[in-house]
Amino acid sequence: MKELLARFTAYFARLSSLERRFIVIVIVVVFGVVNLWFVLPRFNDWSQVRNRDETALTTRAKYEKEIAQTATYTSQISKLESEGVSVPVEDQSLNFISTIQNQAVQSGVIIQQTPQPQRTNQFFLERAVGLTVQSTEGQLVDFLYKLGDGNSLIRVRALSLHPDAPRQALSGNLTLIASYQKKPATRPAPAPATAAAPAATVKANKPPAPVVPAASKPATPTKK
């Protein structure tokens, strides 16, 4: 490096004043272009880095504040669950029809079921069934009251009643629904790698070798 600098100094000393000025102007122009092209666009990088650091520190402080209140949130959830009935999980939706049938038998209500399509979203599954009922007023009230009295959370969405032909009982249509918690989706397990076929199988699948016919012998002449 020193040798290169010494050569440049010696070469620069042999130049005329006009040539020296020209070289200096070229160096200044190149220096300015390099700064405009590479340095000036990076002047705002430091402020952006500081803004990102401040945002990260603020977000971290919010998260730490919420994490510190985990015990408080847990106690509040337990308190709310003890005050009301929690929503059953999706597995209990299999008991939806059986619960209605058992209660109808206990209350003496004659029903005919018409299943309806279920509705779902990200968190809940809603099952519904349409019923054609025939019973007395007391039996119907007992049926509906006991359905909503337990932990099944079955409720009436629509109800239409009218007296039957002899006017001794009630008949009509009603729709019962219940909501259940959906299970979180699980990722399917990766399929196991298939084992390589044994060599014997490969050999067995090879086509048989062609059969070469044997050369026929000339016929022996017979003596007369």
Domain range for residue 11?
2-42
Does residue 27 sit in the same domain as residue 110? no
| pLDDT (tens digit per residue) in 125-156 | 788 889 999 898 899 899 988 887 766 678 88
pLDDT of residue 122: 67
pLDDT of residue 154: 83
Classify residue 206: in a domain, yes or no: no
CB neighbour burial string for 2-15, b if at least 16 within 10 angstroms, e if fewer: eeeeeeeeeeeeee
Does residue 171 sit in the same domain as residue 102? yes
Classify residue 211: in a domain, yes or no: no
Q: What is the C-alpha to C-alpha distance for residues 130 and 4, in angstroms, rounded to an integer?
A: 96
> Which structure tokens are listed for 187?
């990722």
pLDDT of residue 224: 43
- Give phi and psi for 158, each to the nearest 5: -140, 145
Does residue 94 sit in the same domain as residue 151? yes
Q: What is the C-alpha to C-alpha distance for residues 5 and 114, in angstroms, rounded to an integer?
A: 97
- Number of structural domains in the chain: 2
Classify residue 33: in a domain, yes or no: yes
User: Tell me, what CATH number does 173's domain have?
Assistant: 3.30.70.60
Residue 127's SS3 state is: strand
Classify residue 164: in a domain, yes or no: yes
Classify residue 13: in a domain, yes or no: yes
Does residue 110 sit in the same domain as residue 169? yes
Classify residue 79: in a domain, yes or no: no
Most confident of 73-87, 126-140, 171-185: 126-140
Q: What is the C-alpha to C-alpha distance for residues 59 and 71, in angstroms, rounded to an integer?
A: 21
| pLDDT (tens digit per residue) in 11-59 | 777 778 888 788 888 889 998 888 888 877 777 788 888 899 999 999 9
Percent of the chain with pLDDT over 90: 11
Does residue 30 sit in the same domain as residue 102? no
